[in-house]
Amino acid sequence: MSGPLRIAVVWLLVLSSALAVAFVSHVCRQKYDQLTDLEREKNQLQVAYGKYLLEQSAWGSLQRVETMATGSLNMHSPQPQEIMMVKQ
């Protein structure tokens, strides 16, 4: 190989290497953006799940169940004379 041909080959290799670095950097930035978006979504889902758990515990509290039973269904705790023991 002559001198100018070697220089041209080396120049093409350097140029292709620089383009590859630029491309990989671009892809890396895209993936990092996707990662931050997914982490943000994960945090929002965790907050929503926490709110759901709080709401679930509020709706299922014993005080609320007892209030609904006495108010809506006209239920009451049994008196001692209303309790029957069943023996086999």
30-49, pLDDT tens digit by residue? 999 999 999 999 999 999 99
59-71, pLDDT tens digit by residue? 888 888 888 888 8
> What was the pLDDT predicted at 46?
98
What span, in angstroms and rounded, lies between the C-alpha atoms of 5 and 8?
A: 5
pTM: 0.58
Task: Inform me whether the pLDDT recorded for 8 exceeds 90.
Answer: yes
Task: Inform me whether the pLDDT recorded for 82 exceeds 80.
Answer: yes
Percent helix, percent strand, percent coil in the chain, to nearest 5:
80, 0, 20
